[in-house]
């Protein structure tokens, strides 16, 4: 074994003029920089989407409020949903995948760096296109500006007849464009993982984060494309006189629903599986034990990917499918809960017998476990289709999916931020601000989303700009809105932490968490070429083997 020490004399590192630096960033093909660009653009859209959420919550604070008009409100919930899913969640997860996957497999970059850059800029363009609708969406007197058809744009509401002007076109085009970006990134991730693993890293030795991003990328290929196809059909209807979803010409509104949800359901697994990946890397490190049941975790993930392709019509339980179809989708939806539950048990099994360190990444991970459990269980409730005939399209569903997306995905993302920020910037995030962020966000989250289940059960439908007094929804909505503002404050604390720590944070060094995967073997931040020499590995935790040569993992695998 040889030692490769590369010293870079301090006086050769010079600062460049800012225009030059900006040019470097805009033209970069480096996976680490593109990863950071994805994350920064996601944070930008998170702020905008968050403001939209606050507008919604102010309007709904009490019955018969008129903070905004119905037209504006309807645009707000459409833009909020579209922004958060397509321009926050997907980009931030692609950003982390971009940053981490090559490092974790011992590669120097993604398989196709230029495709990587192209995919990012396509995604970003899609976001800009969506927001341009506020300026350019009208096109017709009296027609709305930003899209207001809900993030599903159900037929025939999305047709020319019911959505005049260009607002729906901006919705369609922006998602089509960013969808192509997503497909490009997915292809890149797959090619990278299959073709660029370092010597010794067999498929069965890849970190779980790599495995799960591989599964996620595979799902993107067959889940995003149905939406792209449906949107092409919608454009044909809107501009070429087509009749795909034109019910007056015999077309089917239900067909749009099927196409949309064949995309829509796997999409939520595309969003959650990378978060499972974060948990599978972070929980072991802060429990000081390897992940419990690595092969089962892989199998469960692949199982989820397949089964999740068969559950889509549980979003359509109320549209009048026959009892056999409803029963089938009830069964598959309940079945997909089994591999998902197995993963929760394995994470708890990882913590069991460990020595848990309650640093901020672990706090968010524990929050994730609790909230994902609850969200999964409310999902099982709605899997029972008769129960869903009451709960569907109500605030119970809104509570459920925000529990998954905010309580699950966002918590996992916060954990990932606190865990990998040192690697990306060379500085630690403040633990003190991190704990403030965590507790404030936890309180706000539960205030909002625990309570939100109740109006659903009391008959409050979703997507309504106002509601009647005397239905028992007023006080509940007020509490929900207060929680939203507390979460907003927590996000401000988080952003402050990101900025302050960049300049004043403690220096991180290579491996601040005493972790075991390859990204911690290189500098923080890594140099452009990632590794001085391409490493060779012989187990799932190469750094554990190096730190514990008397008891390497390779002996047990």
Nearest approach, Cβ of residue 343 and another protein (Å)? 10
Residue 44 CB, nearest approach to another protein (Å): 28
CB neighbour class for 289 (10 Å; exposed up to 12, middle 13-18, buried from 19): middle
As to burial, measured by CB atoms within 10 angstroms (0-12 exposed, 13-18 middle, 19+ buried), residue 7 is exposed
Q: How far apart are CA 206 and CA 307, in angstroms?
A: 23
Q: How many CA atoms lie within 13 A of 100 on its CB side?
A: 29
* Tokens encoding 262: 């064949």
Smallest distance, another protein to C-beta of residue 89, A = 20
Between 39 and 59, CB nearer to another protein: 59
CB of 277 to another protein, least distance (A): 18
Residue 394, SS3 per DSSP: strand
Q: Which two tokens stand for residue 356?
A: 């848990």
Secondary structure (DSSP) of 398-455: HHHHHIIIIIIIIHHHHHHHHHHHHHHHSBPPPHHHHHHHHHHHHHHHHHHHHHTHHH
CB of 352 to another protein, least distance (A): 5
Nearer CB in complex with another protein: 39/226:
226
Nearer to another protein, 40 or 236 (CB): 236
| Least Å from the CB of residue 239 to another protein | 10
Q: Which is nearer to another protein, 196 or 498 (CB)?
A: 196
| Nearer CB in complex with another protein: 30/545 | 545
**Shortest Å distance, C-beta 47 to another protein:** 26
* Closer to another protein by Cβ: residue 188 or 497: 188
Q: HSE (CB half, 13 Å, CA atoms) of 247?
A: 13
The full 3-state SS of 305-344, as one line of letters, equals HHHHHHCHHHHCCCCCCCHHHHHHHHHHHHHHHHHHHHHH
Strand blocks (E) in 457-510: none
CB closer to another protein, 44 vs 321: 321
DSSP-assigned beta bridge partners for residue 507:
427
CA distance 496 to 486: 15
Nearer to another protein, 40 or 344 (CB): 344
d(CA 460, CA 464): 9
Q: How far is the CB of 48 from another protein (least distance, A)?
A: 22
Nearest CB to another protein, comparing residues 22 and 439: 439
Burial class for 142, CB neighbours closer than 10 Å (0-12, 13-18, 19+) = exposed
Closest distance of CB 128 from another protein, Å: 24
């Amino acid at each position: 074994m040889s030692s490769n020490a590369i010293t870079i004399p301090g006086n050769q590192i010079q600062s460049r003029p800012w225009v030059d630096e900006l040019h470097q960033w805009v033209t970069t093909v480096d996976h680490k920089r593109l990863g950071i660009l994805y994350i920064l653009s996601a944070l930008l859209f998170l702020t905008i989407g968050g403001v939209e959420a606050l507008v919604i919550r102010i309007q709904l604070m009490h019955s018969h409020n008129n903070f905004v008009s119905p037209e504006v409100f309807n645009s707000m919930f459409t833009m909020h949903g579209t922004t958060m899913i397509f321009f926050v969640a997907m980009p931030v997860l692609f950003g982390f995948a971009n940053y981490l996957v090559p490092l974790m497999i011992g590669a120097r970059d993604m398989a196709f760096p230029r495709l990587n850059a192209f995919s990012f800029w396509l995604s970003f363009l899609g976001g800009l296109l969506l927001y341009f609708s506020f300026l350019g969406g009208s096109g017709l007197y009296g027609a709305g500006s930003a899209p207001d058809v809900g993030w599903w744009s159900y037929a025939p509401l999305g047709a020319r007849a019911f959505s005049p002007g260009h607002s729906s076109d901006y919705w369609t085009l922006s998602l089509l464009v960013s969808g192509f970006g997503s497909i490009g990134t997915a292809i890149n991730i797959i090619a990278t993982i299959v073709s660029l693993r370092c010597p010794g890293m067999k498929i069965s030795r890849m970190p779980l984060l790599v495995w799960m991003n591989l599964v996620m990328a595979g799902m993107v290929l067959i889940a995003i494309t149905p939406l792209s196809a449906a949107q092409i059909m919608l454009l044909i209807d809107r501009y070429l006189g087509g009749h795909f979803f034109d019910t007056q010409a015999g077309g089917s509104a239900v067909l749009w629903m099927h196409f949309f949800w064949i995309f829509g359901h796997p999409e939520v697994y595309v969003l959650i599986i990378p978060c499972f990946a974060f948990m599978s890397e972070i929980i072991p490190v802060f429990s000081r034990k390897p992940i419990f049941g690595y092969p089962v975790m892989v199998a469960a993930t692949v199982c989820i990917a397949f089964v999740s392709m068969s559950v889509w019509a549980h979003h359509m339980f109320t549209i009048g499918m026959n009892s056999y179809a409803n029963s089938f989708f009830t069964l598959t939806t309940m079945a997909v809960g089994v591999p998902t539950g197995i993963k929760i048990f394995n994470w708890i099994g990882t913590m069991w017998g460990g020595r848990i360190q309650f640093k901020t990444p672990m706090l968010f991970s524990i929050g994730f476990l609790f909230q994902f459990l609850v969200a999964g269980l409310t999902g099982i409730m709605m899997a029972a289709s008769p129960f869903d005939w009451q709960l569907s399209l109500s605030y119970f569903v809104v509570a459920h999916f925000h529990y998954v997306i905010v309580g699950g995905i966002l918590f996992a993302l916060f954990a990932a931020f606190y865990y990998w920020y040192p690697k990306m910037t060379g500085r630690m995030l403040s633990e003190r601000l991190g704990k403030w962020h965590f507790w404030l966000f936890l309180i706000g989250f539960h205030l909002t989303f625990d309570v939100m289940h109740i109006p659903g059960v009391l008959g409050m439908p979703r997507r309504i700009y106002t509601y009647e007094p005397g239905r028992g929804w007023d006080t509940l909505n007020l509490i929900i809105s207060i929680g939203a503002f507390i979460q907003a404050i927590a996000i401000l604390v988080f952003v402050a932490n990101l900025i302050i720590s960049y300049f004043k944070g403690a220096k991180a060094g290579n491996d601040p968490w005493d972790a075991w995967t390859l990204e911690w073997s290189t500098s923080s931040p890594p140099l452009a070429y990632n590794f001085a020499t391409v490493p060779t590995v012989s187990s799932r935790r190469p750094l554990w083997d190096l730190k514990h040569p008397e008891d390497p993992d390779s002996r047990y695998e």
